[in-house]
Amino acid sequence: MRKILFILISVILFGIAAYFAFVYYVPFSEGYRSGELIKFSRKGVIVKTWEGEISQGISGAQIFEFSVEDNKKDVIEKLKDFQGQYVKVTYKERYSSFFWLGDTKYFITEVEQEKSPHFGN
């Protein structure tokens, strides 16, 4: 009986670990988005996460919401500096997210400033 219980608990723990590893390490998609960085902030009560928004249309008709992991210090600093400017971001989309990583499934891995196609700056 103990052996069966041990095997059952081991299988359950392995399944949970495999789920977390799959969600964290296997991206659903990867890509690029461009737009005006209209919001970037650190929010949360118990767990603080970096969240932002990019406007991809006229007057904010299309908003791309994203998160940034805490270990991406260079991306965080660039996003702080590029607030209100036109940017191009590289992201990975996960199947799901964990509350301690961010509110969205989209995680920014790189960011660079671009010229706005609307204003020529």
Q: What is the pLDDT of residues 49-83, one digit of tens each?
A: 999 999 887 665 789 999 999 899 999 999 999 99
- List phi, psi (to 5°) of 70: -60, -30
What count of residues does the chain have?
121
- At residue 40, what is the residue type? F
Relative to beta strand 63-68, strand 27-43 is: unpaired
Q: Report domain extents, the chain.
A: 27-113
Which regions of the chain are under pLDDT 50? none
Q: What is the pLDDT of residue 103?
A: 86
Q: What is the pLDDT of residue 118?
A: 67
Q: What is the pLDDT of residue 119?
A: 61
Residue among 30, 101, 33 at smallest CA distance from 67:
101
Q: What is the pLDDT of residue 60?
A: 59
Q: What is the pLDDT of residue 52?
A: 94
Residue among 25, 33, 98, 96 at smallest CA distance from 63:
33
Q: What is the pLDDT of residue 53?
A: 94
Global pTM value: 0.79
As a whole number of angstroms, the distance between CA 57 and CA 62 comes to 5
Q: Helix, strand, or coil here: 66?
A: strand
The DSSP output letter for 97 is -
The architecture in CATH of the region 27-113 reads: Beta Barrel (2.40)
Q: Helix, strand, or coil here: 94?
A: strand
